[in-house]
């Protein structure tokens, strides 16, 4: 192994890239989709075959490659050369030429034909094919038809090489170059030269910032209309990631101008305004008039979806249900007496309202009886002979409602039957859900688009019960659907407020309600023998001390209380970055809870190590695997030969190709946003002033209420107080509430 090779399983980030030239002997693995490759090459510098790993658009045995990269030492497979860039050169020997041509690179040329060609033309072979390919007819056994076939195949290979060389010369990384070539083929160079910002629209993983860097490298003007248009859409996309459905035009212009200003030259606000007008005329943007005449800018899909969702809700509201209320009350009385239970007045109201409402919202904090009330409503609907469907946004939330009601429950994506082929749901207005009544739990997690898909799929005569805690964080996606429905005062709502005696015995629940009222909760100070299920450890003001405290709790107190750190504890953070952010915590906790071991295979990707036994979280909806954003799993196996990693999600094994590992990340610590819809036996909640931009009342309330048996808040009183006082941090630009207050004309077309 070269002296520069590292003893770690990860390459040193400060390691200077080296060059390596060699002939590809064989391909161990190659992903057509991502280009990720494991190959063996023969290099004059190294006595034995070298294993190279990296991303290649097209690679064949016999190719001579010039590689740039770093050496690393894999714990299982030894020395490997991790390729960062590569170029292809012509084979320098007759044997190399034969292997190259006969590798399958050119359709119509196998090993036998390759030997004949090289025997005839010698070292001039590639020049002949490049410039005088018609001369191949001189080779015995090659007919004119075969020459035409070889010519076409060689031209295709040449196009691939030209595209890859062009993109790499202009600073495009190999992995992005491969994605660009696979998207555009031979048109890749023309597309990048003409409008590199098209890449941000067409290719997952290439956003505005990457496209902008490519554009600068190929000489696109900073004042290009393409750049302005792409910048506007990027700002709106960023706003959507923050939960907004639109931006007021002055705010959109200000943020876009800041983004587009380069090298001390400020972007032209007038030009930004002109682009907004042009995009509005071309229906690439929807500009609506808001309060006081303020222009509001939507991406078209957001405006259409928000309007249509309001229309669908209004259509449910105008269809009354005839019900014998006296009969319902008699049933409730018999049901409660037979079980020796008593409904509160609010719960009684909720059950009666569910009997006669086409759509209804049931909300309330922890311990107020939402679960019991939902179970009673489901029992009533069963007694009324209704076919009932149960769903929730996440698998764990669906599992909980199934346990409560005794009926099957599904995630919303499964209930609506997502079709990966069309990237849409099979259930819609033309193919509605086969239920008379539907319960959806954890509806604070419903974003604009999922809520719209749900409402589209409800049969005209069906009923819908939306259950959720409106005081929790809003959805990760755009919108604040549950809050807008409640605040519109158009949808029937029952808010349960009475905390029941049994629930009041939990300090977690008492603290949650105090926080919700804007009061500092009564928390038991940390001790060796805690008597409460809700504790406070004053972890000082320094974030580094907070990390130390978390590690000490996991190593000492948590096991003494009978909890398993590997399965029962979840660290929830307000942010990803920083010392007390999820990223740093995951590295620290992985080393603490699941350290490296010879019997634990591992793989390194993107500066992160995944090891058998690691807890991981899915970062995006993957409909083919039926794994969704926020799903938690455990790495069950790693197969370095097949380049696959197996993750167990709630008893179901799901296989990932190494190329898809950007869909997951470690989950010893996750953000509070990602924890929505889940519960954990133990929650550790570090709250520090370094999080001040994210601190809010519903953030700490949501994090605290994820704990089932024990919650420990770590941090200063100042940071906790700040979070409790902040109630306006999660304001979002939406207009669903306003649209529900507007009388709409129904055109009967609700399938769009």
**Binding-site annotation, residues for ATP:** 367-371
Task: Compute the distance between CA of residue 110 and CA of residue 90 in angstroms, rounded to an integer.
Answer: 18
Q: What angle do CA 700, 701, 702 make, to 5 degrees?
A: 90
Neighbour-count burial of 664, counting CB atoms closer than 10 A to its CB (0-12 exposed, 13-18 middle, 19+ buried): buried
Determine the Cα–Cα distance for residues 454 and 246; give it in Å rounded to an integer.
Answer: 22
| Dist CA 747 CA 469 (whole Å) | 34
Residue 82, classed as helix, strand or coil, is strand
CB 18 within 8 A of CB 71: yes
Query: Token pair for residue 183?
Result: 């998207």
Chain centroid to CA 219 = 33
442, 468 Cβ separation under 8 angstroms: yes
Q: What is the 3-state secondary structure (H, E, C) of 14-63?
A: CCCCEEEEEEEEEEEEECCCCCEEEEEEECCCCCCCEEEEEECCCCCCCC
Tokens 């990223």 belong to 583
Q: Which amino acids are annotated as binding site, given as ranges?
A: 367-371
Q: For residue 317, how many C-alpha atoms fall within 13 Å in the half-sphere facing its CB?
A: 20
Token reading at 536: 């406070």
Q: Which tokens go with 497? A: 């407020």
Question: Within 13 A of 105's CA, how many CA atoms are on the CB side?
Answer: 28
Pairwise CA distance, residues 497 & 514, whole Å: 13
Angle between helices 249-260 and 225-241 (to 10 degrees): 120
Give the number of other Cβ atoms within 10 Å of residue 53's Cβ: 20
d(C-alpha 394, C-alpha 520), whole Å? 31
The structure tokens 């038809």 sit at: 145
| Cα–Cα distance measured from residue 141 to residue 108, given in angstroms and rounded to the nearest whole number | 12
| Ramachandran angles phi, psi of 149, nearest 5° | -65, -45
d(CA 345, CA 547): 46
3-state secondary structure of 710: strand
Q: Are 740 and 490 in contact (CB under 8 A)?
A: yes
Report the alpha-carbon distance of residue 359 to residue 354 in Å, rounded. Answer: 8
């Amino acid at each position: 192994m070269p002296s520069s090779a590292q003893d770690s399983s990860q390459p040193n980030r400060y390691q200077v890239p080296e060059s390596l030239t060699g002939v590809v002997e064989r391909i161990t693995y190659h992903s057509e989709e991502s280009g990720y490759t494991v190959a063996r090459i023969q290099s004059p510098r190294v006595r034995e075959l070298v294993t190279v790993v990296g991303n290649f658009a097209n690679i064949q045995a016999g190719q001579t490659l010039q590689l740039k990269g770093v050496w690393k030492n894999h714990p299982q497979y030894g020395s490997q050369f991790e390729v960062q860039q590569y170029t292809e050169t012509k084979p320098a020997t007759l044997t190399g030429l034969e292997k190259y041509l006969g590798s399958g690179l050119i359709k119509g040329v196998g090993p036998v034909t390759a030997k004949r060609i090289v025997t005839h033309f010698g070292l001039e072979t590639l020049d002949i094919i490049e410039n005088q390919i018609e001369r191949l007819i001189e080779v015995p056994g090659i007919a004119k038809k075969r020459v035409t076939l070889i010519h076409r195949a060689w031209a295709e290979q040449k196009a691939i090489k030209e595209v890859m060389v062009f993109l790499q010369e202009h600073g495009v990384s190999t992995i992005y170059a491969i994605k660009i070539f696979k998207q555009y083929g031979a048109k890749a160079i023309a597309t990048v030269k003409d409008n590199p910002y098209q890449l941000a629209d067409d290719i997952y993983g290439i956003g505005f910032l990457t496209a902008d860097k490519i554009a600068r490298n190929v000489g696109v003007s900073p004042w290009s209309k393409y750049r302005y248009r792409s910048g506007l859409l990027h700002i709106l996309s960023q706003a959507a990631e923050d939960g907004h459905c639109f931006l007021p035009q002055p705010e959109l212009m200000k943020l876009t101008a800041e983004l587009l200003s380069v090298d001390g030259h400020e972007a032209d606000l007038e030009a930004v305004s002109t682009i907004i007008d042009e995009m509005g005329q071309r229906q690439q943007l929807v500009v609506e008039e808001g309060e006081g005449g303020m222009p509001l800018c939507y991406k078209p899909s957001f405006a259409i979806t928000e309007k249509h969702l309001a229309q669908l809700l209004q259509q449910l509201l105008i269809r009354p249900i005839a019900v014998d209320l006296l009969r319902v009350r008699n049933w409730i009385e018999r049901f409660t007496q037979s079980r020796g239970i008593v409904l509160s007045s609010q719960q009684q109201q909720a059950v009666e309202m569910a009997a006669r409402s086409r759509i209804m919202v049931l909300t309330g904090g922890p311990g107020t009886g939402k679960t019991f009330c939902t179970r009673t409503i489901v029992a009533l609907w069963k007694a009324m002979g209704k076919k009932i469907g149960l769903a929730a946004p996440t698998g764990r939330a669906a599992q909980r409602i199934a346990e409560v009601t005794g009926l099957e429950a599904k995630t919303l994506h499964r209930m609506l039957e997502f079709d990966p082929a069309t990237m849409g749901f099979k259930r819609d207005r033309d193919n509605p859900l086969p239920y008379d009544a539907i319960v959806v739990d954890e509806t604070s997690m419903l974003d604009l688009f999922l809520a719209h898909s749900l409402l589209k799929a409800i049969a005209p005569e069906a009923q819908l019960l939306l259950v959720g805690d409106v005081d929790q964080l809003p959805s990760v996606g755009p919108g604040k659907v549950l809050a807008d429905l409640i605040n519109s005062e158009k949808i029937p709502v029952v808010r349960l407020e009475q905390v029941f005696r049994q629930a009041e015995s939990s300090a977690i629940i008492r603290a949650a309600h105090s926080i919700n009222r804007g009061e500092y909760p009564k928390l038991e100070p940390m001790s060796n023998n805690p008597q409460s299920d809700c504790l406070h450890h004053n972890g000082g003001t320094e974030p580094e001390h907070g990390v130390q405290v978390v590690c000490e709790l996991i190593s000492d107190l948590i096991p003494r209380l009978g909890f398993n750190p590997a399965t029962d504890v979840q660290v929830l953070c307000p942010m990803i970055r920083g010392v007390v952010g999820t990223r740093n915590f995951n590295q620290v906790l992985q080393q603490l809870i699941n350290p490296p071991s010879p019997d634990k295979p591992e793989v390194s990707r993107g500066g992160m190590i995944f090891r058998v036994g690691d807890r991981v979280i899915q970062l995006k909806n993957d409909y083919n695997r039926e794994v969704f954003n926020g799903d938690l799993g455990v790495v069950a196996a790693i197969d370095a030969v097949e380049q696959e990693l197996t993750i167990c999600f709630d008893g179901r094994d799901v296989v990932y190709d190494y190329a898809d590992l950007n869909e997951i990340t470690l989950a010893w610590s996750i953000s509070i946003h990602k924890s929505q819809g889940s519960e954990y036996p133990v929650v550790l909640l570090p709250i520090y002033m370094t999080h001040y931009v994210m601190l809010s009342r519903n953030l700490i309330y949501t994090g605290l209420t994820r704990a089932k048996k024990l919650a420990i808040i770590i941090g200063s009183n100042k940071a906790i107080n700040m979070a409790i006082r902040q109630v306006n941090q999660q304001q979002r630009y939406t207009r669903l509430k306003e649209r529900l207050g507007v009388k709409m004309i129904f055109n009967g077309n609700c399938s769009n």
